[in-house]
Homo-oligomer: A and B are copies of this chain.
């Protein structure tokens, strides 16, 4: 049986301030899981039995409305915590998480949360910092949806993804996992048709290059101008 080594987590932001012995104790209670592409990590409404750390791959966090529409809450990248409902006193997951690519995750039983938070105060503080930034994200998104038009919201979403997972290629910065027009629509509160039209227009202007479930930002700077509304309508 494989033992998990502390080097898997030692360098991650969530575990800064912990000594090797503490890391060993924490990882000793984790279970490593492999999640195949398109399979769920955890599901909305179900008992929040575990919390997770993504080691490899990408995960999409989705909330489903009563009417059956999906809204993408965020994408999780390697090194991030997810499913930390228990930190907030929840007994059920408020959203579902689905592997966008094949993933490797660590899982801890939720019952360990309070133990970890009190025994390893830096871990607790780091985790609550994460939650704080997610709360800020959510508010930022409310504000965006209240005050900005679709094109800017889509531009912001792409820039956020590029910052999070952008990989340099000859063409520009590639968003490093499969991302459809529909996905972008679910992130920005619009429809895939509108996203398609926007990307087509931007491709013509040379801002992005995109294909089937693939988006590359060619000119991040000009896209940012557009996102911030300081667009000079620089045509071709």
Enumerate A57-90 residues with CB–CB distance to B below 8 Å: 63, 65, 67, 69, 71, 73, 85, 87-90
| Minimum C-beta distance from A127 to chain B (A) | 10
Given A94-B136, A136-B94, A147-B65, A71:B142 Cβ within 8 A:
yes
A135 close to B131 (CB less than 8 A): yes
Given A135-B135, A139-B138, A89:B145 Cβ within 8 A:
no
Q: Counting CB contacts under 8 A, is A213 at the interface?
A: no
Q: Which B residues touch A129, using CB under 8 A?
A: 88-89
Given A143-B63, A145-B145, A135:B71 Cβ within 8 A:
no
Q: Which B residues touch A121, using CB under 8 A?
A: 118
Enumerate A190-225 residues with CB–CB distance to B below 8 Å: none
Given A63-B139, A121-B118, A145-B146, A128:B189 Cβ within 8 A:
no
B69 close to A147 (CB less than 8 A): yes
Q: How does the 8 Å CB contact mask read for A107-139 relative to B, with 1 for contact and 0 for none?
A: 000000010001001000100110111111011
B136 close to A135 (CB less than 8 A): no
A114 and B124 CA atoms in complex are apart in Å by: 11
Copies of this polypeptide in the complex = 2
Contact of A89 among B69, B125, B142 (CB under 8 A): B125
A139 and B179 CA atoms in complex are apart in Å by: 22
Q: Which B residues touch A125, using CB under 8 A?
A: 89, 114
B138 close to A71 (CB less than 8 A): no
Q: Which B residues touch A65, using CB under 8 A?
A: 143, 147
A114 and B189 CA atoms in complex are apart in Å by: 38
A134 and B132 CA atoms in complex are apart in Å by: 11
Contact of A128 among B128, B138, B145, B229 (CB under 8 A): B128
Q: Counting CB contacts under 8 A, is A49 at the interface?
A: no
| Minimum C-beta distance from A116 to chain B (A) | 14
